[in-house]
Amino acid sequence: MFMGLTYTEAAEFLALKKTWNSTSFPWKPKNRTGIPPTLECLFTLKGDYGVMEDVLVVLRHKSSSIPGVPNSFNAVLLFHQQRLVSLDENGLRKHTNRVGIGMPFFGQTLTHPHLHIPVPDSMDGYAEPIDTRDIQEMWQVFLTTSGIIGAPALHLPTSEQLELSL
Amino acid sequence: MNCELLQRQWGYTCQPVADGVLYAESPFLLVGDGSHLGAYIQNIGSNKVRLSDNADTLFNAMTYGVQFRKSTLKTLRSIATSRGLELSDNGELHAVCSESQVGDYFARFIEAAFMFGEFLQARRPEPTSGFEKTVTKILLDNYGSRLSRAASAPGASGHELQFPLGLDIGKPGQQFIQAIAAKSDGTVNWRSVYQATGKFLDLKNNEIPGGRVVVIEPTNNIESIRQAEVILQNAARVIEYTGPDHLLKEIGLAA
């Protein structure tokens, strides 16, 4: 039966100092099937003793096929395969917090961008708004919440890389 | 087709996106995430419209680590087909209908997206198995604050090794503990066995003091447990789980 990490474990891990471990953003098309066509970047992080095990940051970019709808960007911090922090910038779709009792945005409906974080009653499903449309500012919110230091400015895929994903 | 008509006739939230494109959204949420289920509705001429999720439903599942295997896609396609919709090779849920049918198709669309969400939530990677949780609870009930979750130590490779459990970490009798669950079909999870072996050997080679313990779940084949023990024997002490009392006794012996 699925139990997952506890909130305490997640909070302790987020409080740990983690150092960015790369100087570039090597965007690549996602796997063989390309469903949906997505570009990905995977990064390890460093702790006090070197590369942290079972810790990964995954960036994803999906081009929109609908006129007027922006491309989607997602940044995720994974710990033991559990999605702990997720930055969602995904156009017009709204999000409602049905979990997160006692949290400031419980029960509220948000637009994008927003940031998913663990809450005591659930690892998934609670998000808080990010009050900017600037992608670099969103990136900083993601890094700060994740406890990551030393990361460079975000580089989104180039137009040549975007064509590879289509 | 316009938002006013959609909102008046069907009560959906709706907003224009571009010339000939609307976004209609339902109050229903994607299971386990909270994103609203909706559809982009694009006028394609001849009184026809095209509904699409812009592949957002599957993209959302990707962010949770879901892998789209052939069997997964087959099930998703059958869900789409059962509602008169299609799943494209690019993971886009879509349908074409006449303007007069848009309400009916939007309802089908939301049904299919909701079913996608339920199906895909069950395919998210599982961080911890039920067996690991059982072992954790037994040790936590007995050792309380002496038990650490996510204990770490440096390996000879220079990697920071993470162990699900640690007992008396930082003290001379510290133990690094990893539970290995059987696979769902009752056989040994060899991948976990080899991963644990490599990790514990890395710890051993760095001469980190203390115990290295693997608690392995019984399987339907006793011989395969013995094979796992052979693989692990040079890296960690193996405890075959038979119950709480036996586990506590064995962990106590190692302390």
- Look at B149 and A3 and tell me if their CB atoms are within 8 Å: no
Q: Which residues of chain A make contact with B118, given a CB cutoff of 8 A?
A: none
Q: Which residues of chain B make contact with A124, given a CB cutoff of 8 A?
A: 32-33, 64
Which pair of structure tokens corresponds to residue A38? 């997505």
Q: Which residues of chain A make contact with B13, given a CB cutoff of 8 A?
A: 94
**Amino acid residing at B138:** I
- Which of A28, A4, A1 lies closest to A81 in space, CA to CA? A4
Q: Give the CA angle between residues A83, A87, A90 to the nearest 5°.
A: 120
- Look at B62 and A30 and tell me if their CB atoms are within 8 Å: yes
Top-confidence residue, A165 or A41: A41
- Look at A74 and B63 and tell me if their CB atoms are within 8 Å: yes
At a CB cut-off of 8 Å and minimum separation 6, what does B203 contact?
A: B153, B155, B156, B161, B176, B212
| pLDDT in the model for residue B184 | 63
Please compute Rg for chain B using Cα positions.
26
- Look at A3 and B63 and tell me if their CB atoms are within 8 Å: no
| pLDDT in the model for residue A165 | 63
| pLDDT in the model for residue B110 | 95
At a CB cut-off of 8 Å and minimum separation 6, what does B129 contact?
A: A3, B179, B181
Top-confidence residue, A34 or A22: A22
| pLDDT in the model for residue A114 | 96
* Range name among A82-86, A123-127, B1-5, B194-198 with the lowest pLDDT average: B1-5
The alpha carbon of residue B108 is apart from the nearest alpha carbon of chain A, in Å, by 18
pLDDT above 90 covers a percentage of chain A that reads 63
| pLDDT in the model for residue A2 | 34
Question: Residue A114 to residues A16, A23, A162: CA-CA distances in angstroms?
Answer: 23, 26, 24
CB pairs under 8 A between A and B: 165
Which pair of structure tokens corresponds to residue B163? 């162990």
Rounded Cα–Cα distance for residues B229 and B210 (Å) = 20
Top-confidence residue, A145 or A49: A145
Nearest chain A residue to B128, by CA? A4
| pLDDT in the model for residue A3 | 42
Q: Which residues of chain A make contact with B196, given a CB cutoff of 8 A?
A: none
Task: Using CB atoms, pick whichever of B54, B133, B162 lies closest to residue A69.
Answer: B54
Mean pLDDT (whole number) for A72-81: 92
Rounded Cα–Cα distance for residues A51 and B161 (Å) = 9
| pLDDT in the model for residue B252 | 87
The alpha carbon of residue B160 is apart from the nearest alpha carbon of chain A, in Å, by 5
**Measured on CA atoms in the order B173, B179, B180, B185, is the torsion positive or negative?**
positive
| DSSP string of chain A, one letter each residue | ------HHHHHHHHHS-EEE--SS---EE-TTT-SS-EEEEEE-EEETTEEBTTEEEEEEEE---STTPPPEEEEEEEETTEEEEEEEE-TT--EE--S-TTSTTTT-EE-SSEEE--BTTBSSS-EEE-----HHHHHHHHHHHHTEES-----PPPHHHHHHH-
| pLDDT in the model for residue B177 | 96
Rounded Cα–Cα distance for residues A88 and B24 (Å) = 20
Q: Where are the beta strands (DSSP E) in chain B?
A: 13-18, 21-29, 36-45, 48-52, 86-87, 93-98, 147-154, 160-167, 175-180, 211-216, 237-240
Q: Which residues of chain B are modeled with pLDDT < 50?
A: none
The alpha carbon of residue A152 is apart from the nearest alpha carbon of chain B, in Å, by 22
| pLDDT in the model for residue B214 | 95
**Measured on CA atoms in the order A80, B148, A53, B236, is the torsion positive or negative?**
negative
Task: Using CB atoms, pick whichever of A9, A50, A65 lies closest to residue B54.
Answer: A65
- What's the complex ipTM? 0.91
For A134, left (φ over 0), alpha (ψ -120 to 50), or beta? beta
Rounded Cα–Cα distance for residues B66 and B64 (Å) = 6
Which pair of structure tokens corresponds to residue B5? 């008509």
Rounded Cα–Cα distance for residues A161 and A3 (Å) = 38
Q: Give the CA angle between residues B198, B63, A55 to the nearest 5°.
A: 30
Q: Answer yes or no: is pLDDT of A42 > 90.
A: yes
Asked if B3-121 and B130-254 have one fold, the answer is: no
* B128: enclosing H helix or E strand: none
The alpha carbon of residue B1 is apart from the nearest alpha carbon of chain A, in Å, by 16
The model's confidence at residue A32, banded by pLDDT at 50, 70 and 90, is low
Neighbours of B70 (CB within 10 A): 8
The alpha carbon of residue B125 is apart from the nearest alpha carbon of chain A, in Å, by 6
| pLDDT in the model for residue A94 | 93
- Look at A53 and B159 and tell me if their CB atoms are within 8 Å: yes
- Look at A65 and B92 and tell me if their CB atoms are within 8 Å: yes
Q: Which of A92, A97, A99, A126 to probe by mutation at the B interface, max B CB count within 10 Å? A: A92
CATH level 2 (architecture), domain B3-121: 2-Layer Sandwich (3.30)
**Where do the domains of chain B lie?**
3-121, 130-254
- Look at A66 and B21 and tell me if their CB atoms are within 8 Å: yes
Q: Which residues of chain B make contact with A90, given a CB cutoff of 8 A?
A: 35, 56, 59
- Look at B59 and A38 and tell me if their CB atoms are within 8 Å: yes
**Amino acid residing at B19:** D
Class of domain B130-254: alpha beta
Rounded to the nearest angstrom, the gap between the alpha carbon of residue A36 and the centroid of all alpha carbons in its chain is 17
- Look at B126 and A2 and tell me if their CB atoms are within 8 Å: yes
CA within 13 Å, CB half, A17: 6
Instruction: Give yes or no for A121 touching B (CB within 8 A).
Output: no
Nearest chain A residue to B150, by CA? A9
